[in-house]
Amino acid sequence: MPDIKLSDEVKSWIVPTLIVAALLGLGFAGKAIYDKHQDEKPKVMATEHVKDPAAVAKEIHVTNPAAQTIVREIERSGSSTPQITYYVTAPSVEKGAETVAKQIEEKSPEAPSGVLQKSDRTIVTPNTEKQKVDVYKINLRKAHKLKAGMTYLDNHAYLSTGYQAGKWEGLIHFDTRTLEPKGGTITYTVFEW
Q: What average pLDDT does the segment 4-15 reach?
A: 68
Kindly state whether residues 48 and 130 are assigned to the same domain.
yes
pLDDT level of residue 43 (50, 70, 90 thresholds): confident
Residue 146: the pLDDT is 79
160 against 102, higher pLDDT: 102
Kindly state whether residues 126 and 49 are assigned to the same domain.
yes
Kindly state whether residues 133 and 98 are assigned to the same domain.
yes
**Is 4 contained in some domain?**
no
Residue 22: the pLDDT is 78
The answer to whether 183 touches 176, Cβ cutoff 8 Å, is no
**Number of separate domains in the chain:** 2
**Is 17 contained in some domain?**
no
What pTM, to 2 d.p., does this model score?
Answer: 0.54
- Give the C-alpha separation, 177 to 156, whole Å: 10
Examine the pLDDT at 38 and tell me if it is beyond 60: no
The answer to whether 54 touches 135, Cβ cutoff 8 Å, is no
Each residue's pLDDT tens digit, 124-157? 888 888 888 888 888 777 677 777 877 777 777 7
**Is 7 contained in some domain?**
no
Examine the pLDDT at 18 and tell me if it is beyond 70: yes
Q: DSSP states of 87-124 as a string?
A: ----SSHHHHHHHHHHHHHHT-TTS-HHHHS--SEEEE
Examine the pLDDT at 26 and tell me if it is beyond 80: no
Kindly state whether residues 96 and 161 are assigned to the same domain.
no
- Strand, coil or helix: 143: coil
pLDDT level of residue 33 (50, 70, 90 thresholds): low
Examine the pLDDT at 53 and tell me if it is beyond 60: yes
How far is CA 114 from each of CA 83, 89, 101, rounded to the nearest angstrom? 8, 19, 13
Query: Containing domain of residue 154, as a range?
Result: 144-188
Kindly state whether residues 122 and 57 are assigned to the same domain.
yes
Kindly state whether residues 87 and 122 are assigned to the same domain.
yes
Q: What average pLDDT does the segment 58-84 reach?
A: 78
Kindly state whether residues 122 and 161 are assigned to the same domain.
no
Q: Pick the last residue of a domain from 114, 138, 162.
A: 138
**Is 55 contained in some domain?**
yes
Lowest mean pLDDT among 14-28, 31-45, 68-82: 31-45
